[in-house]
A and B are shown apart, each in its own frame.
Chain A
């Protein structure tokens, strides 16, 4: 019987150690919630530079969740063109595929995932050409197509750089 108690004591010690830090984290979360900017995806994307690195909250419908691990999902707003990628933060495991088609509210930090300009495109083209021998033809063609699409998007936006933003999600709620 004594042995059993010793065995159960180990996890209990861990529980009591972590309980305090859990309460602290909850308090921090409550404080953070008070400073969150709540806006539509359209508003967020239109003024992304202002919200970079800040906590934001958006509402939308889940269009797609990555089926290999759920490490990203795409959410659209009132218009299908207003779409943003969401990734889980370090405290969140993944998103479930069942979220597709659900209305959700996402909270997290806006980060710039990719900045595309002519230098970036030239560098990527050079990298692809140098790896031509190793990569298979299909993969190479796919990546070249992606670069061509990025170039089209860059030209269409009329700016020198084209930024892609993601929200690093700390919390989300599915609206039933």
Chain B
């Protein structure tokens, strides 16, 4: 087997095997690049409301809290309630929370659910465990191998001695421009 064939086989098989991992890192890479613009992990909705009547703090009990939950959510989602400050009541729900100013009756409900696909991709991107870190290291090595073997897949005018050379040089120049002239 000549070296070009080994190169092609490595490029092909590593490419197939790491397709899913590449998509995971690509998705989470974009998501985490734009943390300022959105929350890539959770879909959060909040809604303001005003209660016409709120009893005094000492009269607020679980029964009253469950009645409040009924207005906005399912009472089965109730977890716990407490008073973070004298005039504030916080109700914890499975999948959100309700905060009420017991003096004014003003409040808001926040519901939270995991953003499908992105949550899982971001979770893996943050290296959740030793085993994944090892796998990610192998993947990083494989990416380098894919890049190098990719240079030599084609022969001729579209290969590394022709068009490929110019595109590779352009790809080296772009980060250098950012490094020395833009950032």
> Interface residues, chain A, CB within 8 Å of chain B?
3, 7, 10-11, 14-15, 18, 22, 61, 63, 67-70, 76, 80, 93-94, 97-98, 100-102
CB pair A67 B44 closer than 8 Å: yes
**With A7-B17, A18-B134, A102-B79 as given contacts, are A80 and B42 in contact (CB-CB < 8 Å)?**
no
Type the 1/0 row for B20-58, where 1 means its CB is closer than 8 Å to any CB of A: 000000000000000100010110100000000000000
Q: In the complex, what distance in Å separates the CA atom of A97 from the CA atom of B131?
A: 24
CB pair A68 B35 closer than 8 Å: yes
Q: Which residues of B contact A98 (CB under 8 A)?
A: 94-95
Q: In the complex, what distance in Å separates the CA atom of A94 from the CA atom of B119?
A: 12
CB pair B41 A93 closer than 8 Å: no
CB pair B135 A11 closer than 8 Å: yes
Using a Cβ–Cβ cut-off of 8 Å, how many residues does chain B contribute to the interface with A? 30
Question: What's the dominant secondary structure at chain B's contact region?
Answer: mixed
CB pair B80 A61 closer than 8 Å: yes
**With A67-B44, A68-B39, A80-B83 as given contacts, are A101 and B97 in contact (CB-CB < 8 Å)?**
yes
CB pair A80 B85 closer than 8 Å: yes
- Which stretch of B67-75, B122-130, B158-166, B170-178 is in the interface? B122-130
Q: Which residues of B contact A10 (CB under 8 A)?
A: 138
CB pair B84 A80 closer than 8 Å: yes
Q: In the complex, what distance in Å separates the CA atom of A133 from the CA atom of B128?
A: 41
CB pair B13 A100 closer than 8 Å: no
User: How many whole Å from A89's CB to the nearest CB in chain B?
Assistant: 13
